[in-house]
């Protein structure tokens, strides 16, 4: 129940409730260090806070408990990208893409997100960031 509430707090007006959610996840993990839902939840909070190595560590621990979970795998790969490991992250994202076989709306959304992230890897692999904003001249 605690993990469900804390997971809801991650997504509701993020990052407004992350402090409360983090406390709940940490409480669960103090009693059960291998709780997959708490590992993922805390990993997502760390990702939002920019602690990508910590997020990757927790997401990989959760992935060890649920190795077929493409969402966890994709988030861990994305954290690798965010910390500058573009080739490792891109490889992980491409592995995720191969595992998505369903065509239901949630799978299509995940596939679209992964494709966007792969494009981001390719775009930024040379160390540059996004192109300058396009200004419209009237």
For residue range 108-127, list pLDDT tens digits in order.
999 999 999 999 998 887 76
Cβ within 8 Å of residue 6, ≥6 positions away? 20, 21, 22, 24, 25, 28, 38, 41
Cβ within 8 Å of residue 47, ≥6 positions away? 55, 75, 78, 79, 82
| Tens digits of residue pLDDT in 92-110 | 999 999 999 888 888 999 9
pLDDT for the residue 89: 95
pTM score: 0.80
| Tens digits of residue pLDDT in 9-28 | 665 555 566 788 888 889 88
Per-residue tokens: 83: 């910390």
């Amino acid at each position: 129940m605690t993990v469900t509430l804390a997971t809801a707090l991650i997504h509701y007006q993020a990052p407004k409730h992350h402090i409360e959610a983090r406390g709940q996840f940490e409480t669960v993990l103090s009693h059960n260090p291998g709780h997959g839902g708490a590992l993922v939840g805390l990993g997502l909070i760390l990702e939002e806070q920019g602690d990508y190595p910590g997020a990757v560590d927790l997401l990989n621990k959760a992935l060890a408990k649920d190795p077929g979970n493409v969402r966890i795998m994709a988030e861990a790969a994305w954290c690798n990208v965010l910390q500058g490991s573009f080739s490792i992250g891109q490889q992980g994202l491409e592995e995720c893409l191969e595992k998505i076989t369903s065509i239901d709306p949630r799978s299509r959304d995940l596939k679209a997100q992964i494709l966007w992230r792969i494009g981001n890897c390719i775009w930024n692999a040379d160390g540059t960031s996004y192109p300058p904003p396009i200004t419209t001249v009237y």
